[in-house]
Structure 1
Amino acid sequence: MTSPTSPTVHHFPAPTLVAVNGVELEVFEAGRHHAGRPIVLCHGWPEHASSWRHQVPALVAAGYHVIVPNQRGYGRSSRPTEVTDYDIEHLTGDLVALLDHYGYDDATFVGHDWGAMVVWGLAVLHPHRVNRVVNLSLPYQERGEVPWIELMEAVLGDDFYFVHFNRQPGVADAVLDENASRFLRNLYRKDEPPAEPAPGMVMIDLARAGTPRGEPVMSDDELAVVVSAFESSGFTGSINWYRNLDRNWHLLADVDPVVHQPTLMIYGARDTVARSQNLAAFVPDVEEVTLDCGHWIQQEKPEETNQAILEWLRRRDG
């Protein structure tokens, strides 16, 4: 349970450790009295289950059993040492095992950022365990002719952070570990003034920047929860998700790439993540919504996010 020294987010459920798939996940759940209507919320990088703090009460009020894991590499969840333990088979396997733990055949899965990447993977690797998909920020990534990191390296260069994480293992990890509080404070911003793209590795630069830009996404207390978690865990486990992108590309080679489940895709109008130009080609039963915000959609626009999700779920239930 929560130790007296851990910062907490007001009204966020207390965690339990759940053994799944050869690891332990720190899981926050609410609304168990709504058993039979599970919804699983999957955070991104470098995030924490508490990124869904505004969605949990609204979903419980709407009659859902809400399950929010810190995924492997995060918080007090296990941090295996092998890089390959963070590939898409392991990450989706954790979510399948979480459903098994609660006795559910399937659930609605909601993902943001990297969490969306895992939910897309889950929908194609374990289609019978996913009844509906809601993803934020990151649209479905088409598996092209060239592995993803190879492609990014060719198009975006060595300093693009996805490439840097892969080609210079340990370098960024050390800088982020050393500057966890500053990095996270500088990263979690909204309404940032426009700036010319700078040379260098953006995440390392953020970790070293003296002054944050724009406005904070979180209160000091909310940010303290995330900072405390990463000061304890370090960043390597979470960055290892990036170090499996090309491995994931190979693992998905023979999988039906079409997401057949009903899907809601929520974009931020000012998000730096590119929108999909052909989402319906791979996600035929999709509705797309755009909110006036940046990347941290459910934290920047909590009410609008909740309204979009709940309205869509109601129509799908109806």
Structure 2
Amino acid sequence: MTSHFPEPTMIAVNGVELEVFEAGRENAGRPIVLCHGWPEHAFSWRHQIPALVAAGYHVIVPNQRGYGNSSRPAEVTDYDIEKLSGDLVGLLDHYGYEDATFVGHDWGAFVVWGLTLLHPKRVNRVINLSLPYQERGERPWIEVMEEFLGGDFYFVHFNRQPGVADAVFDENTDRFLRNLYRKNLPPAEPGPGMAMIDLARAGTPLGEPVMSDDELAVLVAAFESSGFTGGVNWYRNLDRNWHLLVDVEPVINQPTLMIYGERDTIAKSPNLAEFVPNVEVVDLDCGHWIQEEMPEETNRAILKWLGDTA
């Protein structure tokens, strides 16, 4: 890690061990938990941690199961939404908190949405970046994606061809992450084949780097150690999650901040307020890696909203 990033602690929760980076313990009583996405790491919140501590928060940033030095269970089903949200509940119990504000980006946002549905009393406020609330439709998510986006769409490919993409990512860790973490990408029509595999093998990255070489090296070292399968297994539980959420009340009533990147390839939700009635939306002029592409603007949006909803 870099010199200013917190040192990790291994914490046993929910049958696994999580590598947790903590800052602002002097602010005990005002917890905020930051949840990374794929293929990310707790380090992706490096720009937010000091700002949140300075604003008086006890900041808790886990590498979730499958990432970094956290446990990487072998069974695919060990990465479903009940397990992932249970890990976060376990973190609250470890620190002695009844509830907390949860922040998620990308897959971390999916987990925060799911946590709030499954354990509403443990979440007092929600801040999610990039991925809006996903409505549970009449058919499982992967089934629908396969019909409309085809078998090469990476969500579908991860499920229908288990192990194939993981191996390519593991063989090309530096290249894949260097090619993936880009901003200001030129517009391009989607081509044939599996886009993530092609990206992992591409010789020349497009656009501009999101992070410095030293910062990228932190991610590369982490994934060279952990591999990618644990994180990809989150995708392999999408349809299982659809079934697990069948009887859950789908409306989230907690105060919520949704931050979109205007140039993100993930679509905005047209009916977000229907499922998240107490939501405020902020749009930033960036791509997918919102908190890293525009850290100061992200911090301002988060801190203003936290102050407004205190």
TM category (shorter chain) comes to over 0.9
Q: In 2, are the aligned partners of 1:9 and 1:50 still within 8 Å (CA)?
A: no
> Which amino acid in structure 1 is aligned with residue 79 of structure 2?
Y
How far apart are the structure 2 equivalents of 1:11 and 1:226? 16
How far apart are the structure 2 equivalents of 1:169 and 1:197? 23
* 1:176 counterpart SS class: helix
Q: Does 1:311 pair with 2:304?
A: yes
Q: Does 1:64 pair with 2:57?
A: yes
Task: State the Cα deviation string for residues 36-94 of structure 1 (Å, max 9, x = none).
Answer: 00000000000000000000000000000000000000000000000000000000000
How far apart are the structure 2 equivalents of 1:150 and 1:85? 21
**Counterpart for residue 119 of structure 2:** 126
How far apart are the structure 2 equivalents of 1:150 and 1:58? 41
> Which amino acid in structure 1 is aligned with residue 88 of structure 2?
L
Q: Does 1:247 pair with 2:275?
A: no
Unaligned runs of at least 5 residues, structure 1: 1-7
How does the TM-score come out when normalised to structure 2? 1.00
How far apart are the structure 2 equivalents of 1:252 and 1:282? 14
Using the TM superposition, give the Cα deviation of residue 255 of structure 1 relative to its aligned residue in structure 2, in angstroms: 0.2
Out of 68, 83, 106, the residue aligned to residue 90 of structure 1 is 83
Unaligned runs of at least 5 residues, structure 2: none
**Counterpart for residue 159 of structure 2:** 166
Using the TM superposition, give the Cα deviation of residue 10 of structure 1 relative to its aligned residue in structure 2, in angstroms: 3.3
**Counterpart for residue 152 of structure 1:** 145
* 2:286 counterpart SS class: coil
**Counterpart for residue 181 of structure 2:** 188
Task: State the Cα deviation string for residues 121-140 of structure 1 (Å, max 9, x = none).
Answer: 00110000000000000000
Mark the CA change 1:118 to 1:138 in structure 2 (over 3 Å): closer, same or farther. Answer: same
Using the TM superposition, give the Cα deviation of residue 195 of structure 1 relative to its aligned residue in structure 2, in angstroms: 1.1
How far apart are the structure 1 equivalents of 2:271 and 2:256? 14
Q: In 2, are the aligned partners of 1:92 and 1:122 still within 8 Å (CA)?
A: yes
In percent, how many aligned pairs have the same letter? 81
Out of 88, 94, 101, the residue aligned to residue 101 of structure 1 is 94
**Counterpart for residue 129 of structure 2:** 136
How far apart are the structure 2 equivalents of 1:83 and 1:295? 26
Runs of 4+ in 1 over 6 A off after TM superposition: none
> Which amino acid in structure 2 is aligned with residue 227 of structure 1?
V
Using the TM superposition, give the Cα deviation of residue 196 of structure 1 relative to its aligned residue in structure 2, in angstroms: 1.5
Task: State the Cα deviation string for residues 121-161 of structure 1 (Å, max 9, x = none).
Answer: 00110000000000000000000000000000000000000
How does the TM-score come out when normalised to structure 1? 0.97
Q: Does 1:80 pair with 2:73?
A: yes
